[in-house]
Amino acid sequence: MKKHPLYIGVMAGLLSLTATLPLQAANQTVAPTTLNQPSRQQEAIESKIQNLLAQMSIQEKIGQLALRDWGTFDASDMKSIKQAVREGRVGGFLNVNFSSVDKNAFEELQRIAVEESPLGVPLLFGQDVIHGYETIFPIPLGQAASWNPELIKNGARVAAQEASADGIRWTFAPMIDISRDPRWGRIAETLGEDPYLTSTLGVAMVEGFQSGNLADPTSLAACGKHFAGYGAAEGGRDYNSAYIPERLLRDIYLPPFKASIDAGMQSIMSTYSTLNDVPGTGSPFLFKQVLREEWGFDGFVVSDWNAVMEMVPHGFARDAKHAATLAANAGIDMEMHTDTYEQFLPQLMDEGQFSEAQLDTAVANILRVKLRLDLWNHPYPRAKSKAERAQIIRNDQFRDTAKAAAKETFVLLKNDNRVLPLKKGQSVAVIGPLADAAHDQLGTWIYNGDKKHSRTLLPALREMVGDTGEILYAAGLDYSRDTRTRGFKAAIKAAKKADVVLFVGGEEAILSGEGHSRGDIRLPGAQAELVAELSKTGKPLAMVLMAGRPLQLDQTLQQADAVMMAWHPGTMGGPALADVLYGETSPSGRLPLSWPVGAGQIPIYYNHLATGRPASEDNYTRIEKIGREVFQHQPGNSSNLLDYGHKPLFPFGYGLTYSEFEYSDLELSDTTLDANGQLTVSATITNTGKTAATETAQLYVRDQVGSVSRPVRELKGFERLTLEPGESRQVNFSLKASQLAFHNTDMEAVIEPGEFRVWIAPNAESGLEAGFTLR
């Protein structure tokens, strides 16, 4: 491509930009990295690090790199664990479940570290505080459906306050892996398929955990994971190979990490998977080149659990010693669970395979974060007594925040005949395995979550209508995979008696999350059969789905009049759902990913390339319409699946409310954009329905022609607007030319002049469209 005269100038600007701004989220406010602008406090930290390093033995230095759990030791041998801490051979512990073990044991370990280890460096306690600590919030994918950074920030803040009460100061979150594959069980932990949305929400989560002031004793250091490409596990099989061309990696998979680091995120976890045939945990490209050299990251890198040793079965490391060499030289500062660093680093240093300068760098990276957390002044759990703990953990305010969050995560997918909201006075037959599933509504990763604190939907509905007998209940199936139909009879009987049927089904918590992928993403067990039977009663049928992923709905979608996706909504899921089902609030969630027709359509994502033969409704024939023995080309040759078509079931960004919205008056402040300029794109949104509701207006662009083929649409902004019936408001998005940058085949971030399309839209498949020229 011929480079525009301005191109060089733009490039120069961009290249310096890439040091501080994420490409995909260039209009976000980001904090400058402390590395580039040392403050006085930072200087004090650096000098304390040097001071400590000067006094540390090699063994103590290596000790700082050790993140241990009970599995590393013989857990019954507390004496030797304490001795390891006393000798400075442990830098931190992970996933010490404070509610199920003797909490004092950990306070005692910290006391030993602080008072008896050679230099008194405090231990760092980390845990997977993924969507709440004891007050469980909706799963991250559900939180992402809120498209509300504030909500996500508040949730992370609550989690941090609870976890720090127990002495945890580091969380293995946010998970900012992009995934385009709902078979992958860990999609439940992601923030969806889009780099802009994931960047924005990931940054919000980091801000919530870290509170803008790491030294605040309620702060947790955040850990972005899993670097990089874990979400692209082949076939959705967890831990599997990821093949991502570097260009795509830089445009789609890396921006959320860059954005989170620019927002001050303190640590990064390596991926289990291989990325283009190299295990992430042994990749100098990822950790040395991208993370340190290109981005100037100054926090620390931790391996995933056992990931150093897993380079042996990967066929990348010969043995434990080789694995330690590869990980340490790739830039993995801290080793989680295994102890290959302790075992082999001294020898590797004698052999010249790893230097003391490298060791010092790794230790400094870890000490820097410990110092920023001010662990020296706050080494112990924040709650000093049971009573103090009780005031913090699961307090009313936190539960209210969790409920408010859940309410914004529900996505109304269908609502024929306005079956929803339910009306008081109607009798409702509540049926299905998840209406009263205290454990399953919590979702994956809940170390400290306990079903005894869950508020489920069934009692919440009863509470909502009072003592009217309007709520009938027959589960029909005991759990989501239940195939026994013995409960059908009672369920159908209840359905016949009621004015409306509310089916609450989906997936149990255990069907998503780590190591829990599915090849068949239909409703498990006999749920589809049960819904089919219920629809035969002719009663209006609303369906609430709780699941860690979008599900293949098949004929169930036709049988239900209304469908609401509730993800796994957490501790307060029941009351939150009851409020929305009865219309106290309109649903406002939007899909953070494309909802596939079926598993055979995966990977499916909105920001795909166009293909030479894009499918449209009129250039292909559905399988049932193809005549017998017709000529090969007759039904049309375009990029589609004969049975599933060419579109997802529901597009990215989609979600209904109890009202209607109209988009009008799309305007651009100019029809041309200079390479260092910006445009304002505006439209008027009107609530044309009868209820107050929240609409999420989305800004998309398409670069018509590029030196590489460009996505059909890319999200560049969004705004949530709550409007009263009849109310109109203008949305104004500023679109900077720098947001149009992408990586070319030379891996340069470039902006290329040319024609662009732009939309303000309610989802990735519709909206008002205009164009502009980038000069």
Residues tagged active-site: 304
Residue 603: cis peptide before it, omega within 30 degrees of 0: yes
Number of amino acids touching ligand BGC (CB under 6 A): 8
238 in contact with ligand BGC (CB under 6 A): no
Interhelix angle 356-372/40-55, rounded to 10 degrees, is: 130
310 in contact with ligand BGC (CB under 6 A): no
Interhelix angle 78-86/103-116, rounded to 10 degrees, is: 30
Least separation in angstroms between residue 128's CB and ligand BGC is: 5
Compute CA distances 731 → 6, 408, 664, 685, 697, whole Å: 31, 20, 11, 7, 8
- Residue from 60, 128, 193, 342 in contact with ligand BGC (CB under 6 A): 128
Is the Cβ of residue 113 or residue 129 nearer to ligand BGC in the bound state? 129
* Helix, strand and coil percent figures for the chain, each rounded to 5: 35, 20, 45
Least separation in angstroms between residue 447's CB and ligand BGC is: 9
Least separation in angstroms between residue 445's CB and ligand BGC is: 8
Token pair, residue 677, equals 């300029």
Q: How far apart, in whole angstroms, are the C-alpha atoms of residue 111 and residue 149?
A: 38
Is the Cβ of residue 147 or residue 172 nearer to ligand BGC in the bound state? 172
Least separation in angstroms between residue 561's CB and ligand BGC is: 39
Give the list of residues 6+ apart from residue 614 with CB closer than 8 angstroms, or none: 638, 639, 646
360 in contact with ligand BGC (CB under 6 A): no
| Binding residues among 569-588 for ligand BGC as defined by CB under 6 A | none
Contact call for residues 681 and 699 (beta carbons, < 8 A): yes
| Binding residues among 434-453 for ligand BGC as defined by CB under 6 A | none
- Residue from 194, 207, 262, 304 in contact with ligand BGC (CB under 6 A): 304
172 in contact with ligand BGC (CB under 6 A): yes
577: β partners? none
Other CB atoms within 10 Å distance of the CB of residue 8: 10
Nearest residue relative to ligand BGC (C-beta): 172
Token pair, residue 349, equals 């240093």
- Residue from 20, 59, 95, 485 in contact with ligand BGC (CB under 6 A): 95
225 in contact with ligand BGC (CB under 6 A): yes
Question: According to the 3-state scheme, what is the secondary structure of 92-121?
Answer: EEECCCCCCCCHHHHHHHHHHHHHHCCCCC
Is the Cβ of residue 314 or residue 399 nearer to ligand BGC in the bound state? 314
Is the Cβ of residue 516 or residue 518 nearer to ligand BGC in the bound state? 516
516 in contact with ligand BGC (CB under 6 A): no
DSSP-assigned states of every residue in 713-738: -EEEEEEEEEE-TT-EEEEEEEEEGG
Q: How far apart, in whole angstroms, are the C-alpha atoms of residue 654 and residue 657?
A: 10
Least separation in angstroms between residue 69's CB and ligand BGC is: 8
305 in contact with ligand BGC (CB under 6 A): yes
Least separation in angstroms between residue 597's CB and ligand BGC is: 30
Provide the pairing of β-strand 500-506 with 541-546. parallel
Least separation in angstroms between residue 172's CB and ligand BGC is: 3
Q: How far apart, in whole angstroms, are the C-alpha atoms of residue 356 and residue 295?
A: 24
Contact call for residues 434 and 454 (beta carbons, < 8 A): no
Q: How far apart, in whole angstroms, are the C-alpha atoms of residue 511 and residue 556?
A: 20
- Residue from 514, 660, 674, 719 in contact with ligand BGC (CB under 6 A): 514
Give the interface with ligand BGC as residue ranges (CB under 6 A).
94-95, 128, 172, 225, 304-305, 514
